[in-house]
Amino acid sequence: MLVLLGAAAVIYSLWFRSSTEQPQLSQQLPAPSPVAPVSASQVPTPTATPEPIVESPIVIEPSAPVGIFIPSDDPDLVISTEVKPMEPCQELIDPPRGSGVGDIYYCTDFAMPGTDSEGKTVIAGHASQKVDTWLNRLQVQGDSMLGRQILLQTASSDQRWLEYIVTGVYQPAKEELPYMTEVWGAPGESTSGRVVVVTCLIDGSGTITHNYVVVAELIGVKG
């Protein structure tokens, strides 16, 4: 009991002293300094959101094709070779024979390929049962060419390639081909950016009566 009272006395004494000294401690604290107002000029101005960088489209001026690449999952059907000029063929598409019978050619009297070509580009070559030609590999693929790539390199494209997607595959009789608007375009229809690849259709009969024709449209530039 005396211990409790003694402890109570000590607690009372400590509390009384603390409570009586508290005003003195608060009087000893310095008054807070006034905060200077912030002027508008000191507030950081938010920076403007930068405009996104828009790259200009690549422009390849129309010029003579110098190379063609047609990929395939079958390595024996890949076409990768140079393209050579041939005689005007508005009246008749007849690629050179002799030592160049297996090569691929472009018609010099049709439009040259580019990102802004004036019209369709015509590529042609022979297919043969007796001779190994580049376009033998094309005509055996039939309708599977739909949706596939054709890439052309030109005199002005440097290391880049014009990329085309096949939109039509046709096997017309030779006498029908000159009148096919789905190949050559209807009167007044723009054929800018179109490539037409023409060869013979080999059916095993020994007589060639039909053509194999692929129509592709420009979709961009690769490389």
pLDDT tens-digit map of 117-136:
999 999 999 999 999 999 99
pLDDT number for residue 51? 73
- b or e along 40-49 (b: 16 or more beta carbons within 10 Å of the residue's beta carbon)? eeeeeeeeee
**Assigned domain for 20 exists:** no
**Assigned domain for 136 exists:** yes
Q: Three-state SS for 103?
A: coil
**Assigned domain for 16 exists:** no
**Assigned domain for 2 exists:** no
Q: What CATH number did the domain enclosing 104 receive?
A: 2.40.260.10
Structure tokens at 32: 């807070």
**Assigned domain for 33 exists:** no
- Phi first, then psi, for residue 221 (nearest 5°) are -125, 135
pLDDT number for residue 54? 64
pLDDT number for residue 31? 55
Residue 42: how many CA atoms within 13 Å on its side-chain side?
4
pLDDT number for residue 203? 85
SS3 of the chain: helix, strand, coil, percent, to 5: 25, 25, 50
pLDDT number for residue 57? 86
State the DSSP H helix or E strand holding residue 86, giving kind and residue range, or none if neither: strand 79-86
Residue 172 burial (10 A CB sphere; 0-12, 13-18, 19+): middle
**Assigned domain for 23 exists:** no
pLDDT number for residue 114? 98
**Assigned domain for 104 exists:** yes
Domain ranges, residue 199: 65-222
Q: Enumerate residue ranges in the chain where pLDDT < 70.
A: 1-48, 54
pLDDT number for residue 180? 98
- Calculate the average pLDDT of the chain: 85
pLDDT number for residue 18? 41
Number of domain units in the chain: 1
**Assigned domain for 144 exists:** yes
